[in-house]
Amino acid sequence: MRELTADQIRASMVNASEAEIERMPLPGLHETVWADREYLGWRDPAGSPRGYIVHWVDDRPVGILVRAASTALRPGIGAMCSLCHTPQPSTQVVMFSAPRGGEAGRDGNSIGTYICADLACSIMIRIVPGTSELTLMRDELIARRSAGLQQRLENFTANILKTA
């Protein structure tokens, strides 16, 4: 992923009001390892249900405001993030909803999907079991997972930007 500035992040938001963008807390951008990310994702550190996803689409950053559901999946079952396709305990996957962009979002239209609760899919796809056979294919495996994550994120973003 290419590096982003605070101004680029704020300007990239496609489904948030000006007030929401103004209140948006930013992560520590100076601490971000950009080469190991497909997108920048973070939750509001104040404990609100808000989260943020920013990624590059063509040559421009696109930011999405997401909100975590107030109810969780039943504990003790497995779940899978729809972006990184990583199976995890249900407590680590949350239903997030995102208002559609433009007038559709202002009219209350939104879409939802299950995503890693901490929005750290870029980290999850880089966790590879330590067997000797997989060590040899680690880079190829991560590249495949990365491509899938990026494609699913682009599809999610395209659905948010649909006007009808």
Question: Which positions ≥6 away from 60 have C-beta within 8 Å?
Answer: 12
Residue 15 has pLDDT above 90, yes or no: yes
Q: Note the pLDDT of residue 135.
A: 61
Q: Locate the domains of the chain by residue range.
A: 6-68+98-109+118-161
Query: Which residue in 112, 92, 94 sits closest to 156, CA to CA?
Result: 112
Q: Note the pLDDT of residue 132.
A: 58
Tokens matching residue 6: 């605070």
On the 0-12 / 13-18 / 19+ scale of CB atoms within 10 A, 15 is buried
Where does the pLDDT of residue 136 fall: very low under 50, low under 70, confident under 90, or very high at 90 and above?
low
The pLDDT tens digits of the residues spanning 71-84 come to 888 888 899 999 99
Quote the DSSP letter at residue 45.
T
The pLDDT tens digits of the residues spanning 41-51 come to 999 999 899 99
77: number of Cβ within 10 Å: 9
Distances in Å between the alpha carbon of 26 and those of 46, 127, 142, 155? 12, 25, 27, 24
Return the exposure string of 16-26: e unless at least 16 CB atoms fall within 10 Å of the residue's CB, then b. beeeebeebee
On the 0-12 / 13-18 / 19+ scale of CB atoms within 10 A, 78 is exposed
Residue 156 CA to residue 107 CA, distance in Å, equals 19
Q: Note the pLDDT of residue 102.
A: 85
* Contact call for residues 149 and 83 (beta carbons, < 8 A): yes
Q: Report the C-alpha dihedral over residues 150, 43, 156, 55, rounded to 10 degrees.
A: -40
